[in-house]
Amino acid sequence: MTRSARSCPGMTTSSPTAGASRWCPPTGRWARASASPSTTRWTPPRTTRRRWRPASRGPAFLGNRLPDREARVEAFFLKAAEHLPGARFLLGGSGWEARPLPSNVTRLGHVYTHEHNALNCSARAVLNIHRDSMARFGFSPATRVFEAAGAGACLITDAFLGVELFLEPGREVLVARSGEEVAEHVRRLTDAEARRIGQAALRRVLAGHTYLHRVSQVEAALGLRTGSATTTRECVA
């Protein structure tokens, strides 16, 4: 096993390539994704958009239909919708037009990047579903995790190895291991609890998961001398 694989506590893969693609330092807190406070932030819900209105307590999921994601979307999103026929689920992303869906799932089609914040803030909860490879190796949360948390949205994510290194389960994020658990989280979630979790996640992201933090972590991991705040900001600009 390579040094990169050994550096991630709990990683047991024997594939050097897989280990290198998900390398993290001994602290286990270096990931490729993070939030950009200048673009990821709370946005007033788009109540004027009829399709986006959270008519009931169902969550929103944003992701294109891809071969290495579809089975997990079926397991975590569509199964949850089947368990909660009275809740309205929002599905954003391209490729779902021809896919049969439960009657309580609303297709939003392609959602432009500049609309992501508004969508994340329009639903009571946002569901994150990792691709197969990311779920298998762990320690590398999807960009959607930090995008939703950075907007102050209440995030429900599929379980992955190392989630607690980035957000605290139960306080800053809700973790599910199946569609049934997603449905249970949605069933129990109140508006007040959703706001509490979303704000806790936002504070955590701003305190340790921005691109500025990632640059500092890379510098520390490579043994580079930490530059001034101005120099670091220039690196991420």
Residue 130 in any domain: the answer is yes
What distance in Å separates the CA atoms of residue 155 and residue 191, rounded to the nearest whole number? 13
For 112, the domain range is 34-208
Residue type, 203: R
Q: Is residue 202 part of a domain?
A: yes
Q: What angle is formed at CA 31 by the lines to CA 117 and CA 235, rounded to 5 degrees?
A: 80
Is residue 204 included in any domain, yes or no? yes
The number of distinct structural domains making up the chain is 1
CATH number, position 77: 3.40.50.2000
**213 backbone dihedrals φ, ψ, rounded to 5°:** -65, -40
Residue 134 near residue 146, CB atoms below 8 Å: no
> Given this model, what pLDDT does residue 194 score?
96
Is 139 within a domain?
A: yes
Q: Tell me the pLDDT band of 223, cut-offs 50, 70 and 90.
A: confident
Digit-coded pLDDT (tens) for 35-93: 555 566 566 665 545 566 654 578 999 999 999 899 999 999 999 999 999 999 999 99
Residue 45 falls inside a structural domain:
yes
Q: Is residue 23 part of a domain?
A: no
Q: Tell whether 113 is covered by a domain.
A: yes
Instruction: Flag whether 227 is in a domain.
Output: no
Taking residues 91-120, what's their average pLDDT? 92
